[in-house]
Amino acid sequence: MRVFNFSAGPAALPEPVLRQAAAEMLDWHGSGMGVMEMSHRGPEFIAIHAEAVALLRELLDVPAHYRILFMQGGAIAANAIIPLNLMGPAGRADYVVTGSWSQKSYKEAQKYGSAALAASAERDGAFRHIPPVQEWRLDPGAAYVHVCTNETIDGVEFAEPPLLPGAVPLVADVSSHILSRPLDVTRFGVLYGGAQKNIGPAGLTIVIIREDLLGRAHPLTPSAFDFKTVADNDSMYNTPPTYAIYIAGLVFRWLKEQGGLAGIERANVAKANLLYDAIDGSGFYVNRVDRACRSRMNVPFVLPDKRLDAAFLKGAEERGMVQLKGHRSVGGMRASIYNAMPLAGVEALVAYMREFAKAHG
């Protein structure tokens, strides 16, 4: 019996993807090999890789002057790889902190140059809103402006990518909402994210970069993490995480079958509305994030009394709903409802939340 898995990542994957991966584990398309066993230079894997890149380009409508790179290390490694590749001789970048993840990015960047805090949404130790772009203290000489467009821990999401004044490129960690909604890639210089939320297995990092931003790496950048080297070698400078790329490709195909990003957005809006309405209408559960920037992917909420948390989680597990505990840094509950979470999972959660509130309210 499959559970409803509300993990923030690694996270639930679409069942049809897992079924296909299992069926092809020992023999991919009559090749006599599983994908995990294939040389990354062989014709079979080269086809798998090319299809994954093409599907991602199609889904996100990535223009031709952007390169799609498959790398490793996730967003935490990228926190260093981004400034190493982009800070350039200016050595200055602006960071906008709207939650725990952008705060980590800002901190790591300070090792590589002058990372300035252009805006912070922190109030009394919590992140619940996004300051308007007009309030950001932007440095026109910065190499880039960094944001995290969906904060997994705090449940804060940019409804639209910020529209920056001037020509400084926008760099965004999109790990936890990429492919959950249409996105105007041309607003960004670089988009990056770990795959383990909406794309596939942990260990794969997606980077989408405007070509003019290649070739600015600090001399100490490891070659395997130099965007230009990776781009020049079609993500095969070092052996790529082949199996993760294969799973990502299957997820991209599944997404097309859901009607692409417009289709999955409709499903995601329905799930998020159902859950937020249940919270707001409960008189019991509370989510304090500004409505304009509530995340559709990660929904944190608290119970009226912390002492009820253990009972809530236990009851959820008994009903086949797991990983609802909030991040240790903020406490409470968190339901991550990525693309692969079916509406039935949110319906089951909402029904249980009503039942629990009635019993303990």
**Residues 337 and 6 sit within 8 Å (Cβ to Cβ):** yes
- Report d(CA 210, CA 204) in Å as an integer: 20
- Report d(CA 102, CA 79) in Å as an integer: 9
How many angstroms separate the Cα of 47 from the Cα of each of 38, 42, 249?
Answer: 12, 9, 11
Residue that is written with structure tokens 């980077």 in the block: 207
**Residues 245 and 239 sit within 8 Å (Cβ to Cβ):** no
> For a copy of itself, what does the binding mask look like between residues 321 and 340, x meaning CB under 8 A?
-xx-----------------
3 is a site residue for a copy of itself (CB under 8 A): yes
Residue that is written with structure tokens 């200016």 in the block: 90
Binding-site size for a copy of itself (CB under 8 A) equals: 69
Instruction: Give me the phi and psi of 94, to 5 degrees please.
Output: -105, 135
Given the residues 94, 197, 226, 271, select the one marked as catalytic.
Answer: 197
Comparison of 187 and 238: residue with beta carbon closer to a copy of itself: 238
Q: Cis peptide leading into 63, omega within 30 of 0? A: no
Cβ neighbours for 324, distance < 8 A, ≥ 6 positions apart = 6, 312, 313, 316, 333, 334, 335, 349
| Residue 197: active-site member | yes
Comparison of 37 and 51: residue with beta carbon closer to a copy of itself: 37
Comparison of 164 and 251: residue with beta carbon closer to a copy of itself: 251
Among 95, 192, 225, 301, binds a copy of itself (CB under 8 A): 225
Given the residues 28, 94, 101, 325, select the one marked as catalytic.
Answer: 101
16 is a site residue for a copy of itself (CB under 8 A): no
- Report d(CA 229, CA 251) in Å as an integer: 27
How many angstroms separate the Cα of 169 from the Cα of each of 151, 198, 320?
Answer: 20, 25, 44
Print burial letters for 150-183: b (CB count within 10 Å at least 16), e (below 16). bbbbbbbbbeebbebeeebbbbbbbbbbbbbbeb
**Residue 141 CB, nearest approach to a copy of itself (Å):** 22
Counted residue by residue, the chain has a size of 361
91 is a site residue for a copy of itself (CB under 8 A): no
**Residue 304 CB, nearest approach to a copy of itself (Å):** 26
| Residue 173: active-site member | yes
Residue 326: DSSP 8-state:
P
**Residue 323 CB, nearest approach to a copy of itself (Å):** 6
Among 65, 111, 137, 358, binds a copy of itself (CB under 8 A): 111
27 is a site residue for a copy of itself (CB under 8 A): yes
Other CB atoms closer than 10 Å to residue 132's CB: what's the count?
A: 9
Comparison of 21 and 293: residue with beta carbon closer to a copy of itself: 21
> Which region, judged by CB under 8 A, interacts with a copy of itself, from 67-75, 156-164, 262-270, 304-312?
67-75
* Beta-strand runs (E) in 35-113: 66-71, 92-97
> Which region, judged by CB under 8 A, interacts with a copy of itself, from 5-13, 93-101, 253-261, 293-301?
5-13
108 is a site residue for a copy of itself (CB under 8 A): yes
| Residues involved in catalysis | 101, 173, 197
Give me the residues that bind a copy of itself (CB under 8 A), please.
1-3, 5, 7-13, 15, 18-19, 21-23, 25-27, 31-34, 36-40, 42, 72-77, 79-81, 84, 108, 111-112, 194, 196, 200-204, 218-220, 222-225, 237-244, 247, 320, 322-323
